Amino acid sequence: MRVLITNDDGIASPGLQALVNEFAPVAQTFVVAPEGERSATGHAITLHKPLRARAAAIAGATAAWVSNGTPADCVALGMLELVPERPDVVLSGINAGPNLARDLTYSGTVSGAMEGAIFGVPSIAVSVAAFTDPTFPAAAHFTGELVRAILLHGLPTDTLLNVNVPNLPAHRIAGIAITRQSARRYISRLEKRVDPRGQAYYWLTGDPSTQEDVEGTDTWALASNQISVTPITLDMTDDRAFAVLRSWNLAWSPERH
Ligand code: MN
CATH of the domain at 219: 3.40.1210.10
How far, in Å, is the centroid of ligand 1 from the Cα of 128? Answer: 10
Cα 121 from Cα 113, distance rounded (Å): 9
Q: Distance, CA 177 to ligand 1 centroid (Å)?
A: 23
Distance 211 CA to ligand 1 centre (A): 24
pLDDT in tens, the chain (257 residues): 999 999 999 999 999 999 999 999 999 999 999 999 999 999 999 999 999 999 999 999 999 999 999 999 999 999 999 999 999 999 999 999 999 999 999 999 999 999 999 999 999 999 999 999 999 999 999 999 999 999 999 999 999 999 999 999 999 999 999 999 999 887 778 999 999 999 999 999 887 677 788 999 999 999 999 999 999 999 999 999 999 999 999 999 988 87
| Burial group, residue 202, by CB count within 10 angstroms (0-12, 13-18, 19+) | exposed
* Burial tier of 120 (Cβ tally within 10 Å: 0-12, 13-18, 19+): exposed
**How many angstroms does the Cα of residue 113 sit away from the middle of ligand 1?**
13
Asked if residue 24 belongs to a domain, the reply is yes
Please give the residue range of the domain that contains residue 86: 2-182+213-256
- Domain count of the fold of the chain: 1
Is 201 inside any structural domain?
A: no
- The pTM of the full predicted model, rounded to 2 decimals, is 0.95
Q: Is residue 37 part of a domain?
A: yes
Residue 187 lies in a domain: no
